[in-house]
Amino acid sequence: MRLLASCLVALLATAVPAAQKPLAAGLAAQKPLTAEQIARNVQDRDTGRDSRAEMRMKLFDRRDRVRDRALSLLTLRRPAGDRSLIRFTYPNDIRGTGFLVWEHPQGDDERFLYLPSLGRVRRIAGSEAQESFVGSDFSYEDIGGREFDEYTYTLADENASWTSPQGPRPAYRLESRRKDSSVEFPRVVSLVLKDSFVVVQADVYNRRNEKQKVYTVKRLEQVQGIWTVLESVMTNDLDRTRTELVVDKIAYNTGLTEAAFTRRELEGAAK
């Protein structure tokens, strides 16, 4: 579900347990991965049992004017479907706004938005998934994840690379096409690191097959042994806007439970 959603912790991190790395490398040497296997590895990568993060978001308009926001993020991995909860803490006009995601492996994910000004929780319908997330260049789908089976996958280049500050790293170029071509953004071409299955770049195409948005990782580091996206940006080339995300603090395996991801807790984001 998180082919592009690498921007927040459910989208933020990936790790391969040390014991699995030689096996994965050996399998890759014996038999190349298919496009769907790569997509599955992106979705199923290990991000710890849970995580807590504090982040900053900067929204730039076409005149390069900036709006600053601060938010916290909680995530929980579980076999029955992951959970995530975003809470905005700054500025006052968005403080208390919350976004809760319940993933369902055997069904449609559920997304809930709490707006303090309305005093109620609103369910985000599937038809709204590609709309702007609280005025940013990210969509609800980018943040909350995608339905894996709603896409088909093609390996565009198995010998691509990503240039990190430490030098080039081998990558796959993966194309994901929405089965329903009438949606706003039916195609995504992602750059996926071979050693960790982190999405480090993604080109997002609209219905006219124009490259409208580009997601780019600016800083990728290991935190508690987990590869973590610490700085990223989503640009909208047609609107000439961009949204930057910076992780100020993150911790994994903190002991969160399902009780932190209820609709009651979502509404509690305003208190």
- By CB atoms closer than 10 A (0-12, 13-18, 19+), residue 146 is buried
Q: Does the residue 91 lie in any domain?
A: yes
- The Cα–Cα gap between 224 and 167 comes to 22
Mean pLDDT of 108-133: 87
Average pLDDT of the residues of the chain: 87
Which CATH number belongs to the domain containing residue 117 in this structure? 2.50.20.10
pLDDT higher than 50, residue 118: yes
Q: Does the residue 125 lie in any domain?
A: yes
Q: Does the residue 3 lie in any domain?
A: no
Q: Does the residue 257 lie in any domain?
A: yes
Q: Does the residue 67 lie in any domain?
A: yes
Q: How confident is the model at residue 16 (pLDDT cuts 50, 70, 90)?
A: very low
List the structure tokens of 49. Answer: 């049992």
Task: Look up the pTM and report it.
Answer: 0.86
Q: Does the residue 1 lie in any domain?
A: no
Average the pLDDT over each of 82-96, 128-142, 197-211, 235-249 and give the range with the smallest value: 128-142
What is the total residue count of the chain? 271
Q: How confident is the model at residue 19 (pLDDT cuts 50, 70, 90)?
A: very low
Q: Does the residue 104 lie in any domain?
A: yes
- The Cα–Cα gap between 131 and 115 comes to 16
> What is the model's pLDDT at position 271?
53
Q: How confident is the model at residue 30 (pLDDT cuts 50, 70, 90)?
A: low
More reliable by pLDDT, 240 or 141: 240
The tally of domains found in the chain comes to 1
Q: Does the residue 2 lie in any domain?
A: no
Tens-place pLDDT, residues 74-96: 999 988 889 999 999 999 999 99
- The Cα–Cα gap between 118 and 43 comes to 34
Range of the domain at 124: 9-270
